[in-house]
Amino acid sequence: MADAAPLPRVRRRRVAPQAHRSNALHPGAWWLWALGLATAASRTTNPLLIGLLIGVAGYVVAARRTSAPWARSYGAFVKLALVVIGIRLVFAIVLGSPIPGTHLIVTLPEVPLPDWAQGVRIGGRVTAEGVVFALYDGVRLAGLLICLGAANALASPARLLKSLPGALYEVGVAVVVAMTFAPNLIADVQRLRSARRLRGRPDRGVRGLLQVGLPVLEGALERSVALAAAMDARGFGRTAAVPARVRRTTAVLTLGGLMGVCAGTYGLLTADGTTYGLPVLGIGTAAALGGLWLGGRRSVRTRYRPDRWGWRAWLVAGSGAAVAALMIAANSGDAGALHPGVVPLIAPELPLLPAAAVLIGLLPAFVAPVPPPAEAPVRERHRPRTPRTPCTPRVPRTSRTSRTSRTSRTEENPS
């Protein structure tokens, strides 16, 4: 037997095992990691550093994302980020920029505005400084968006929901259900628009979109009623009997706690309230958490195989936190390199230490469990619900589900 062959396999197993249900990384770890990167991105305007951050996030997504439907949202976030950069640039060019600049690129015809619109400018001088400043700003926003997109692609929203405290579970379900409705709505619009073609009407254009609006909303409403019925029949919303005393205490704790949080935050923000701000905020938070914990006693739910927070989750979350912390520290040290000036226009440099810090964010690509190859994209033909055409096998949506919305019912009689 060759000695070389088993070695990589052994090493790979030690670094990151294949993912399955039991060792799946806690979705909260992915979110903390991504929020760490996002915090770092918000602390700098250096496009090289942000580019590096985007690269790090992209590499981790490429290495660790599954073929699940939510994992495909990453591409959408990247496109959105590009749109944001574009919008920021257009605004800077058309509405002008407060940055004083000497490198004139072009002078647009300026729209004369009345006196009351003083300070607003449309058209006029476009300087290289202004455009570069807008670009830096846009890139920073894009970096934030892409970090969020990475979290979305890597962590299943439904699994995250399982980690919510019991009292918040029902709110969480509403959010997740709403999120899954958006793709269905889009599928409906596409189906009904192409059905217009079958009636001999144009299937493109804005009018076509408007005319299918009502049927689409009707369908969405019907589907939500059907889902609500199914959830009810499966025991959603069963509650345990809780003594009235506990119920009252829960309400008092939650409300009082929230008020404390508000008062404490206000105290912290005003100049003369710094003495009482912090303690009130602390007490308020504690009371609100207590209320949530007590409220959870009303819920009889148990959790099936919740994700465990293991040492891999600590590493992933920690790497994100480390990136954020080092970037904040670098900000207090050498702020100049993190915020390259635009007046005078200089080429941004890559500060070595912060760049090395950003690279820590690559850690999840080595320690997080590897998605199994079996999860390779499933063939399209097995996905009856994907938006296809009007005559797609959209598994039966029948009028039965709309029984509640019917006002009168005329049924066919067998003749």
Distance of CA 94 to the CA centre of its chain: 30
Identity of the residue, 171 or 198, whose beta carbon is nearer to another protein in the bound complex: 198
Distance of CA 217 to the CA centre of its chain: 25
Per-residue burial over 121-135, b = 16 or more CB atoms within 10 Å of its CB, e = otherwise: eebeebbebbbbbbb
Q: How many CA atoms lie within 13 A of 281 on its CB side?
A: 12
With CB under 8 A as the contact rule, which of the stretches 88-96, 261-269, 319-327, 381-389 interacts with another protein? 381-389
* Residue of the chain from 131, 191, 253, 363 that contacts another protein (CB under 8 A): 191
d(CA 114, CA 111): 10
Read off φ and ψ for residue 123, nearest 5 degrees: 85, -165
d(CA 155, CA 29): 9
With CB under 8 A as the contact rule, which of the stretches 28-36, 51-59, 248-256, 400-408 interacts with another protein? 400-408
384 binds another protein (CB under 8 A): yes
Quickly tell me which residue has 């039965």 as its tokens: 400
Per-residue burial over 334-369, b = 16 or more CB atoms within 10 Å of its CB, e = otherwise: eeebbebebeeeeebeebeebbebbebbbbbbebbb
Identity of the residue, 137 or 188, whose beta carbon is nearer to another protein in the bound complex: 188
Instruction: Tell me the site size for another protein, rule CB under 8 A.
Output: 83
> One symbol per residue from 230 to 259: x for binding another protein (CB under 8 A), - otherwise; what is it?
xxxxxxxxx-x-------------------
* Calculated CA dihedral for residues 208, 209, 211, 217, nearest 10 degrees: 150
22 binds another protein (CB under 8 A): no
* Residue of the chain from 119, 200, 243, 344 that contacts another protein (CB under 8 A): 200
403 binds another protein (CB under 8 A): yes
> One symbol per residue from 35 to 74: x for binding another protein (CB under 8 A), - otherwise; what is it?
---------------------------------xxx----
410 binds another protein (CB under 8 A): yes
Identity of the residue, 192 or 280, whose beta carbon is nearer to another protein in the bound complex: 192
For residue 112, count other CB atoms closer than 10 A to its CB: 8
Question: In angstroms, what is the minimal distance from the CB of 185 to another protein?
Answer: 14
d(CA 196, CA 96): 45
210 binds another protein (CB under 8 A): no
Q: Residues 267, 273: contact at Cβ < 8 Å?
A: yes
The region, left, alpha or beta by phi > 0 then psi within -120 to 50, assigned to residue 111 is beta
d(CA 188, CA 314): 42
> One symbol per residue from 284 to 323: x for binding another protein (CB under 8 A), - otherwise; what is it?
----------------xxxxxx------------------
Give the total residue count for the chain.
Answer: 415
13 binds another protein (CB under 8 A): no
Question: In angstroms, what is the minimal distance from the CB of 239 to another protein?
Answer: 9
388 binds another protein (CB under 8 A): yes
With CB under 8 A as the contact rule, which of the stretches 85-93, 146-154, 284-292, 382-390 interacts with another protein? 382-390
Which residues inside 111-170 make contact with another protein, applying CB under 8 A? Answer: 156, 158
